[in-house]
Structure 1
Amino acid sequence: MFFSEIIDISSCEVREGISYQSGIDMEESRLDPENITEIPPPRTSRIEASPKHDSVTEIFFDIEATGLSRSSHITQLAAKSAAESFSRFVLPQHQITPKAAEITGLTFENGQLLSNGNVLPAVHIKKCLNDFISFLEKTKNNVLIGHNVQTYDCVLLYTSLQKCNLLDKFKSTVIGFIDTLPLFKLSHPGLNSYSQTNLFETFMSKSYEAHRADEDVDALCTLVNKKIELNVHFEKVYIPECVISDKFNSMKELHKNLPSLKLLIDRKILSLGMARIIIASSGLCLEHLKLAFSRNGCKGIKDLFTEKSGSGVRVTKSEKIIRQVSDFLKE
């Protein structure tokens, strides 16, 4: 047996308990919660080949929301294909922040969505998302294109879809995304600003009604069609849907599990960055570390942290960090 295989088995024993070693003890293991409690395996990055540019349907999209944080609620969702446009205003579940109201002109008063004081024909979020999915179902091989969507729009969209139990249905209609922020940085390096409004003013020599999702979609569509050879850059900027989905799941794990490591961060046993790596990249919380330590002490933590993950290790090879975490768990 090769040394790497021994390490892999050791890591599995730490993660899955004694039940991994032998099938003989499985019935007995079911009686003991400790034996059936497992540490999740390392996340693996899914790889998908980029489709040919001429085989996809380009759909530009944009979202406006109640605020600038990733927990904000959608107030408008707009999209545009070559054949058709889509736009819905949405009744949010909480108030629009003053900053967002200033930017978008939208306010939420007495159960109504208003634009500069005028009542808008807004719908509930589930109705909006169902309508959006119906719009997407009209075309095949859809690639959603938006500006700075990886860090903002996709998070808001996936969060809303999940809350409405529509995420899987949506994912069946989309094969990938393109974020035009890195696209313009790639195709037009050296600009002072890559905000969409600045790009439009720079290249179109005029302004538009920014921060209305439908207007933003039209402006971005114009910019890309006139100033970008998308077929040239497509493979470099294409993001498979599974990558966005994996990032979304990692973000959820981060928010769920990071508080459990607060004491280790406060005592400077782990830096915030290392704690985020442990959670976001590995899906581990404090209880998982305790479980690994209870099974094999310091070696259990070492096996867990140095478990093979992709081309590297799951957390770290640092003996200092492994020792500090182990010493903390001894207390």
Structure 2
Amino acid sequence: MASRYQSEGNVQAMPSKLVYVDLKTTGFKKDAQACQIGSCCEDEEFTCYTCPTIEFELQATYKTYFYSNEGVLYQEGRILETLPMSEAWERFLRFLEEKCGGNVTLVMHRDAYHLPIIKRHLKELGLLEKFSVICKGVIDTLQLFRKEYPQIKEEGRGYELDELLSIIGLEETKPSELDALVAAKNLKELVDHEISQGNIDSYVLNNYFKSLTYIQEAENAKEDAKILKTEMPSLSKETAEKLVGAGISYYLLLSTYNEAGESGIRSLLSEEVNGQVRVTKSSMVIRKNIYDLQNRIKTEVSSPLEEQ
């Protein structure tokens, strides 16, 4: 990979300590559970196994060789020593707090997959608030390498962790797919190598940092957009998210339509704020908004008569 940052002046300290994390899980669905947590920070390492309460997906077992039976966790036929789910995650938080300094940024390869599982487990165990104090945010190295190194895709290669290691000439001791701690250590080795070569620095890493607050707000916005779509079915997902992002609720649209009619809706959606169109100037999109509002008003007006 060609060097992008050679000057020592570009190297700055990250505001919090980088902790590399990987999970092995039951699969790829939204209810997936962790069966192994692996993490490393500087010279410190952490790993533990826990037996999930749901079945492994066949695709996950095919990739990682993990499976469970009657409360026992196996990998390639070998029985693994496990901890109860609560103890496993409590130990992980203690590792972050005591061994990593308690002010950390989690570095993960594909945070959109790992972070929701981590947060769901911690929320179920009443540990999410403590985690939010310890962890300041996350960096997704998959997004980093995709955007900073587009030539990898152009060369017909992929961005899976082990393939990235092979591209830069680092031979992994064990496939990352089979062990969460190995994956975390491989990821750290990859990032450390790229930093040492001047290919990335803390400025680049900071560009891919997302605070937990930002992530939560984004999740809330998606939920609000889903609610808005139930009120206004003809909206596209993209338009619903734009409306929520602009602070426009269904009730604001409805009150605007009641007070100013179609012209009020057009003005609300197409006005420019700081040089940017608030939502859209598309006549078709605006018309869909008005159509939904008209139908909702008809429904609300007709409902009392139907009850009589």
Give TM class, smaller chain: 0.7 to 0.9
1:236 aligns with 2:236: no
Structure 2 partner of 1:90: 50
- 2:104 alignment partner, one of 138, 142, 150: 142
Superposition TM-score, scaled by structure 2 size: 0.73
Partner of 1:161: 122
Q: Give me the whole-angstrom Cα distance separating, in 2, the residues matched to 1:201 and 1:171.
A: 35
Change (3 A) 1:241 1:181: closer
Counterpart Cα distance in 2 of 1:54 and 1:115: 37
Give 2:75's aligned residue.
Answer: 115
User: Secondary structure of the equivalent of 2:163?
Assistant: helix
C-alpha distance in 2 between matches for 1:289 and 1:68: 38
Confirm or deny that 1:274 pairs with 2:274.
Answer: no
Unaligned runs of at least 5 residues, structure 1 = 1-50
Structure 1 residues 74 and 264, CA, compared in 2 at 3 Å: closer, same or farther?
same
Q: Is the 8 A contact 1:261 1:285 kept in 2?
A: no
Shift in CA distance, 186/262, structure 1 to aligned 2, threshold 3 Å? closer
Note if 1:81 corresponds to 2:41: yes
Q: Which residue of 2 aligns with 1:329?
A: 293
Contact 1:174 1:241 in 2 (8 A): no
- Give structure 2 stretches of 5+ with no counterpart: 1-10, 296-308
- What's the counterpart of residue 209 of structure 1? 175
| 1:290 Cα deviation from its structure 2 partner | 4.4
**1:143-169 CA distance string (max 9 Å, x none):** 2222122x2212222233333332221
- TM-score normalised over the length of structure 1: 0.69
Is 1:53 aligned to 2:19, yes or no? no
Deviation (angstroms), 1:289: 4.5
Offset at residue 299 of structure 1 (A): 5.5
Alignment RMSD (CA, Å): 3.3
The 1:87–1:325 alpha-carbon spacing in structure 2 relative to 1, beyond 3 Å, is same
Deviations 1:2-43 (A, max 9, x none): xxxxxxxxxxxxxxxxxxxxxxxxxxxxxxxxxxxxxxxxxx
| SS state at 1:53 partner | coil
Match in the other structure for 1:195: 160
Identity rate of aligned residues, in percent? 22
- Does the Cα contact within 8 Å between 2:231 and 2:250 map onto a contact in 1? no
Aligned to 1:181: 142
Which deviations, in whole Å up to 9, do the C-alpha atoms of 1:163-194 show, x marking residues without a partner? 33322211211233322224334665522222
